[in-house]
């Protein structure tokens, strides 16, 4: 078993050195692809973080009609909770609403203390929703519940911003997937040329009774190894490049409103992801091309 593995590794390394030019071009293509994947993954990770922060801050204020009696509040709350897309509902009575109103004005808010005696504000539900991008749709659904008189979610700007972030995230996933497929194609083509160059050797191996798996394994190891070499620069860039960026911006965007993913563990997770992609690309790429070759002749 170990003897066999040893031979396969030896063959794989010999393969790389014998076709050095090919190996270098393959590694360069891989490095370029993974750098793009690294950049996009770092972007997606941070966009996800920012979206989550924004979504956590988004609350819908729902005013309760004055005719709703106090003992019916729980029933009404239950109805709002049942609206699709609602995560949680918190009840706020008149006094709490006034507190919040006064707080909103800071020091000047004390002026409104006079309303304590005769509070004109409505009771309200503070609703948290599941996805920020569906805020207006959920708000419309809440507004249809009887006993409520107004829904306020802060306008469509936030919703649009979240939608843009989500589009970036989804687009990023698509591009990462496309790049991965492209890299598989590139590496499988490179390995195919390597195999073509070793046509004679493979023919002899087949003639003396080498099994397909025996022939295939050195190529697959070679593919994985090329993938891993190609991942070195992208991994280092992910860790040190991101760290430098994080330190430059002090981990924050837009004067501290939005925070970036911390270097540890995020950059290391991205690195592990890159290594995984490199291994998968190397494996799949070489497997496909060597299998194609092995199918051609008996």
Partner 1 sequence: MVHLQNVYKVYKNGVNALNDVTLDIAEGEFVYVIGDTGSGKSTFIKLLDGEEIPTKGIVEVNGINVGKLRFSRVPLYRRNIGVVFQDYRLLERKTVYENIAFALEVINKPKAEIRQRVREVLEIIDLTEKTKSFPTELSGGQQQRVTIGRAIANNPKLLICDEPTGNLDPERSNEIVELLERINERGTTIIMVTHDMNLVNKYRKRTIKLDYGHIVSDSKEGGYIANV
The residue ranges that bind partner 1 (CB under 8 A) are 3-4, 7, 18, 200-201, 203-212, 214, 297-298
Report the nearest approach of partner 1 to the CB of residue 34 (Å): 32
Nearer to partner 1, 72 or 292 (CB): 292
Report the nearest approach of partner 1 to the CB of residue 201 (Å): 6
Nearer to partner 1, 67 or 296 (CB): 296
Report the nearest approach of partner 1 to the CB of residue 178 (Å): 35
Report the nearest approach of partner 1 to the CB of residue 193 (Å): 18
How far is 27 from 233, CA to CA, in rounded Å? Answer: 10
**Which residues, in sequence order, are CB contacts of 44 under 8 Å at separation 6+?**
168, 169, 172, 173, 176
Angle at 84 between CA 79 and CA 87, to 5 degrees: 85
How far is 31 from 111, CA to CA, in rounded Å? Answer: 64
**Which residues, in sequence order, are CB contacts of 152 under 8 Å at separation 6+?**
60, 61, 62, 63
Report the nearest approach of partner 1 to the CB of residue 26 (Å): 21
Nearer to partner 1, 156 or 199 (CB): 199
- Please list the residues that pair with 62 across neighbouring strands: 125, 151
Report the nearest approach of partner 1 to the CB of residue 203 (Å): 7
Report the nearest approach of partner 1 to the CB of residue 21 (Å): 17
Report the nearest approach of partner 1 to the CB of residue 202 (Å): 11
């Amino acid at each position: 078993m170990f003897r066999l593995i040893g031979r396969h590794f030896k063959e794989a390394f010999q393969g790389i050195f014998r076709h050095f030019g090919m190996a270098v071009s393959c590694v360069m293509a891989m490095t370029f692809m993974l750098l793009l994947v690294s950049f996009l993954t770092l972007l997606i990770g941070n966009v996800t973080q920012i979206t989550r922060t924004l979504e956590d801050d988004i609350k819908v204020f729902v005013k309760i009609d004055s005719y709703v009696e106090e003992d019916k509040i729980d029933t009404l709350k239950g109805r709002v909770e049942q609206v699709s897309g609602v995560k949680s509902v918190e009840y706020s009575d008149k006094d709490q609403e006034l507190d919040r109103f006064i707080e909103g004005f800071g020091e000047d808010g004390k002026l409104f203390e006079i309303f304590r005696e005769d509070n004109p504000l409505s009771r309200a539900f503070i609703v948290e929703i599941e996805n920020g991008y569906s805020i207006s749709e959920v708000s419309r659904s809440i507004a249809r519940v009887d006993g409520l008189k107004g829904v306020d979610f802060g306008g469509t700007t936030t919703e649009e911003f979240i939608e843009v972030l989500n589009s970036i995230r989804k687009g990023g996933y698509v591009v990462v997937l496309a790049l991965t497929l492209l890299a598989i194609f590139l590496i499988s083509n490179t390995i195919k040329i390597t195999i073509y160059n070793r046509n004679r050797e493979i023919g002899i191996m087949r003639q003396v009774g080498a099994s397909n798996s025996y022939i295939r394994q050195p190529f697959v190891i070679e593919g994985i190894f090329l993938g891993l070499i190609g991942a070195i620069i992208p991994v280092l860039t992910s860790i040190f490049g991101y760290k430098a960026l994080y330190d430059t911006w002090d981990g924050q965007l837009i004067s501290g409103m939005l925070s970036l993913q911390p270097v540890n563990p995020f950059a290391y997770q991205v690195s592990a992801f890159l290594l995984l992609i490199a291994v998968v690309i190397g494996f799949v790429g070489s497997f496909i091309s060597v299998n194609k070759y092995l199918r051609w002749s008996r």
